Amino acid sequence: MKKQVLLYKKLSPLLMARLHEQTEVTLIDNLNADGLAKLRDALPRAHGLLGASLKLDAGLLDLAPDLEAIASVSVGVDNYDIDYLTERRILLSNTPDVLTETTADTGFALILATARRVVELANMVRAGQWTRNVGPTQFGTDVHGKTLGIIGMGRIGEALAQRGHFGFGMPVIYHSHTPKPAVEQRFNAQYRSLPELLQQADFVCLTLPLTAETEGLIGAKQFALMRRESIFINISRGKVVDEAALIQALSEGQIRAAGLDVFEREPLNHDSPLLQLNNVVATPHIGSATHETREAMATCAVDNLLAALAGERPKNLVNTKAWKA
């Protein structure tokens, strides 16, 4: 008998066909109240789950006694209780690598947009307010040659360093759990403690995962260390930052600007004070959101899920302790 898969993300026809060939699929095409009710109804029969952007806590997963595998269409796994999954021997997989370059592109888009005030000034043109040549009050600040500070030197951090070093001639400094000699050699990057990085970087970029350790890592104390001319970029997860402290730092001119792809609560409320600030560029969690990359992520997730349901170890297994060889 075919295994039951609960899908809470739409897939391309090609990937749907692959899943249908080997499994029985229930699609939840919207995670609104109706969709969540449908999900709860289907969980008791599910062997596999595939999707993203849903907090799958024990309360929900207790409804699925036969669950064998979850394939997350994301690299971040902060929506899952890994200890709980491991205890139940549910295999959790993610989609690293295939989104690295695209997410680094997003980071660089935010660096350029904030430094050169692209959104603010493009809006001025659109509003018909370009009546004479721009002057110093509309000038931006250079990106090339400035110091790029990266917090979390993993896959995405490294791709950001590559762009900064080779593309823009930026000195790279970084902070991570452990020093990365190979990265230091490739990009002439230098390790810094977190306070040193905050004090020295022109661009402070977050590329860390959200974990118990990183939640609230950047707050009032950390913004106070940054330079008034520095720009803050977050392409990791909103909860790594104390958003109220960020709003205060921006409002009081403690830092120059912020480029934000992720927020404490998503979607960002339309009355968030962040949206009142001209020096904020806010994007709707688009780090990996290109046609090519989203298809590559979905393919990776389908591969992981089908492998797990066939009793094979998925390539991108997160909770390796759940695997019994």
Contact status: 177 vs ligand NAP (CB under 6 A): yes
Which one-letter DSSP state was computed for residue 72?
Answer: E
Q: How far apart are CA 95 and CA 316, in angstroms?
A: 7
Residues 217-276 that bind ligand NAP (CB under 6 A): 235-237, 261-262
Contact status: 99 vs ligand NAP (CB under 6 A): yes
Give Cβ neighbours of residue 52 (< 8 Å, ≥ 6 apart). Answer: 8, 9, 72, 73, 74, 79
CA end-to-end span of the chain: 24
Q: Is 237 a catalytic residue?
A: yes
Q: How far apart are CA 64 and CA 41, in angstroms?
A: 10
Contact status: 319 vs ligand NAP (CB under 6 A): no
Q: How far apart are CA 163 and CA 214, in angstroms?
A: 25
Among the residue ranges 2-10, 85-93, 116-124, 149-157, the one whose residues contact ligand NAP (CB under 6 A): 149-157
Q: How far apart are CA 222 and CA 78, in angstroms?
A: 23
Contact status: 176 vs ligand NAP (CB under 6 A): yes
Ranked by CB distance to ligand NAP, the top (closest) residue is: 154
Contact status: 285 vs ligand NAP (CB under 6 A): yes
Whichever of 66 and 215 has its CB closer to ligand NAP, that residue is 215
Among the residue ranges 26-34, 62-70, 184-192, 207-215, the one whose residues contact ligand NAP (CB under 6 A): 207-215
Instruction: Quickly tell me which residue has 């590329």 as its tokens.
Output: 207
Contact status: 156 vs ligand NAP (CB under 6 A): yes
CA 126 from centre of chain: 30
Active site residues: 237, 266, 285
Could you list the residues that contact ligand NAP (CB under 6 A)?
Answer: 75-76, 96, 99-100, 103, 152-157, 175-178, 207-211, 213-214, 235-237, 261-262, 285, 287-288
